[in-house]
Structure 1
Amino acid sequence: MTYDTQAVALAPSNDLVAAVANPGALGTIEAYISAVQRMPMLTAEQEAEYGRNLRDHDDLEAARSLIMSHLRLVVSIARQYLGYGLPHADLIQEGNVGLMKAVKRFDPDRGVRLVSFAVHWIKAEIHEYVVRNWRMVKVATTKAQRKLFFNLRRMTPDGQTLDPEQIDDIARELNVRPQDVTEMEVRMSGHDMGLDAPVEDEDIYAPISYLSDDDLEPSRVLEQRDNDHLQSSGLESALEALDERSQRIVRARWLQDDGTATLHDLAGEFGVSAERIRQIEAAAFKKLRLALATAA
């Protein structure tokens, strides 16, 4: 996992400080939580003093004190995201990175306690981790989608499917479109599925079986291309090989966009019987089939 190297450098090395980057370093996550809960809290005066020393003199011991005293805050925030099925230690680890970034940017002269300032940074890192790892396919990319992702589960009663009225209420409360709520509900109700069937069970009807498009198979593409050629330039060349009367009959009977001429219409035009027009048409088709077969 990649960390902000400047932020990590703020913490000197000892067993508990090393555990900031790896909560499992103390053996178990319970041991880590127990250890950080015993860390002393800072008074407002101490916090302001350490903050100024870090800001003005790059005092790493001051940074260490600020970080260590707020590790319990990360544990508390990370616990709120256990419902997403991700390891508690990983959530704490990402939150610790956010805490380090907050300490690096902390300015005590703004009149805001570090605990209030750090919440945003801790949640931002945890949010990014959850969105990136909750599913193999990222479920939220836009700001509206992220807002829905982290609020929809909380606002959905007992995991039930939302009705139109509930969708409208949620969209109004979160200031998003109802269709965005519906789309996110569908995304969150799905699950990851392998494209191929497991090797040990090839009889499973995997998505690869019904997602492939046979029409894009190379031999079919070439066949379709040849067929299109015959229907355009090939057919036109074959028609030009016919005599003028046969061309007129075939075009009038089969290639007109404004309707099909009848045998009697053409019989009147050429001064022959309808049966004779049918015979000429049949002979023309025989010549066309032969010409097209030769061209293919």
Structure 2
Amino acid sequence: MSQMLAPTTAVPSGQLAVAGAWTGRSLTLPPLGNLDAYISAVNRIPLLTLEEEQQAARRLRDHNDLDAAGQLVMSHLRLVVSIARQYLGYGLPHGDLIQEGNVGLMKAVKRFDPDQGVRLVSYAMHWIKAEIHEYILKNWRMVKVATTKAQRKLFFNLRSMKQGFRAEAADGDTHREALSDHEIDVVARDLNVKPEEVREMETRLAGGDVVLDPSPSDDGEEAYGPIAFLADGSHEPTAMLESAERDRLATEGIAKAMGELDDRSRRIVTERWLKVNDDGSGGMTLHELAAEYGVSAERVRQIEVAAMKKMRKALAAYA
């Protein structure tokens, strides 16, 4: 199957290619970029009978026969074209949708078991749609609009249900965009979701990607985007007062709290918390201070803890 089908999700639109030959039958497909010719070619591929399909599936399953895989894939390419056509309303290239559907078809062929009592066409539909759905969700917007299972279900059903409401509109208002409260309740009931989720998804679908910080135009004029109108939180009055209070505590407050300590405690706190050498290293370690004062390192740690507790109390009173 190495020359039978070769889609990749990374190839840009217009450069996708599906080409190959069906063993035993003369057939060469045009590149997917020539979409009309490709669709015409796959529609001329003969379908497999039930017996031929089961024989090919068993050869693939039992003997890893790639020619059999090629038969199964090629005979169902028209199914991919038909399913991909249903998703043209999302604004993505038809060729890309077919390409992703072909990937799903190959996954279905690889996992298909002929002894389960179903035809490959029924089994493959799930895999083809799943691959196309994933592609649409990744590429429809820069930011994903649906992440949970309920949101994905809403995303792929809300558009068609909305079009159905417009077609049935008794007042003739087929151009009304927003759903009414009654229509939202109907959608929520049919899809088993909350009305709030329907409203949120409708808002997401109605929106689009916005560049926060656009580049200057070609004529050199400066462009303004939403980022130019965002508030600077650092100059908000409350934030400025809090920043000034922190600075006061870090200077006057610390100096007053240090004044509450005895000389030894003040020296230990300074060495352990406040001193920074030129090379970026801190002050003395517990063991170095213990050697200097002739006590154990644990005793120095206890003095440090008591001094810090006393300083917190002094800072709370100062604040």
TM-score normalised per structure 1: 0.68
Residues 18-44 of structure 1, C-alpha deviations (whole Å, 9 max, x = no match) = 579625725511111111111110000
Q: Is the 8 A contact 2:146 2:152 kept in 1?
A: yes
Question: How far, CA to CA, are the matches of 2:52 and 2:201 in structure 1?
Answer: 45
Deviation at 1:163, TM superposition (A): 1.0
1:172 correspondence with 2:189 = yes
**Cα deviations by residue, 1:56-78 (Å, 9 ceiling, x for unpaired):** 11011100000000000000000
Q: Distance in 2 between matches of 1:50 and 1:229?
A: 78
> Which letter does structure 1 place at the counterpart of 2:148?
T
- TM-score, normalised by the number of residues in structure 2: 0.64
2: CA distance, partners of 1:228 / 1:171:
50
Q: 1:22 aligns with which of 17, 21, 46?
A: 17
For 2:191, give the aligned amino acid. Answer: L
2:105 is the counterpart of 1:73: no
Name stretches of at least 5 consecutive residues in structure 1 with no aligned partner: 1-10, 239-296
> Highest Rg: 1 or 2?
1
* Corresponding letter in the other structure for 2:206: S
What is the Cα-based RMSD across aligned positions, in Å? 2.9
Deviation at 1:227, TM superposition (A): 3.7
Match of 1:128 among 114, 123, 134: 134
Q: Which residue of 1 aligns with 2:56?
A: 50
User: Is 2:80 the partner of 1:63?
Assistant: no
Question: Following TM superposition, by how much is the alpha carbon of 1:232 offset from its aligned partner in structure 2, in angstroms?
Answer: 11
Structure 2: runs of 5 or more not aligned: 9-15, 19-29, 167-175, 257-319
Residue 13 (structure 1) aligned with residue 3 (structure 2): yes
- The answer for the alignment partner of 2:232 in structure 1 is 214
C-alpha distance in 2, partners of 1:37/1:91? Answer: 17
Q: Alpha carbons of 1:124 and 1:110: their partners in 2 closer, same or farther (altered >3 Å)? A: same
Q: Is the 8 A contact 2:7 2:103 kept in 1?
A: no
Question: How many pairs are equivalent?
Answer: 223
1:216: how far off?
2.9
Letter in 2 for 1:193: V
Alignment match, 2:94: 88
Name the amino acid aligned to 2:161.
Answer: M
Query: 1:89-128 deviations in whole A, cap 9, x for unaligned?
Result: 0000000000000000000111000000000000000000
Q: Which residue, out of 114, 118, 122, partners 1:116?
A: 122
Equivalent residue number for residue 198 of structure 2: 181
Q: Deviations over 1:220-279 (max 9, x none)?
A: 9677422455599969x99xxxxxxxxxxxxxxxxxxxxxxxxxxxxxxxxxxxxxxxxx
How far apart are the structure 2 equivalents of 1:170 and 1:216? 44
* Contact in 1 for aligned 2:60/2:68 (Cα 8 Å): yes
2: CA distance, partners of 1:227 / 1:41: 79
Whole-angstrom distance in 2 between the partners of 1:137 and 1:162: 23
Structure 1 residues 155-164 or 118-127, which shifts more?
155-164
- After superposition, where does 1:234-253 map in structure 2 within 5 Å? none
* Distance in 1 of aligned mates of 2:129 and 2:200: 24
Find the aligned partners of 2:252 and 2:33 in 1 and give their Cα distance. Answer: 78
Amino acid at match of 2:131: E
Over 3 Å counting, the alpha-carbon distance change for 1:121 and 1:19 in structure 2 is closer
Please state whether the residue corresponding to 1:25 is helix, strand or coil. Answer: coil
Distance in 2, Cα, partners of 1:26 & 1:59? 25
Code of the aligned partner of 1:214: D
Aligned 8 A contact 1:12 1:64 in 2: no
Aligned to 1:103: 109
Is contact 1:94–1:129 with CA below 8 Å preserved after alignment? yes
Given candidates 203, 226, 237, the residue that maps to 2:244 is 226
Contact 1:195 1:206 in 2 (8 A): yes
- Match in the other structure for 2:147: 141
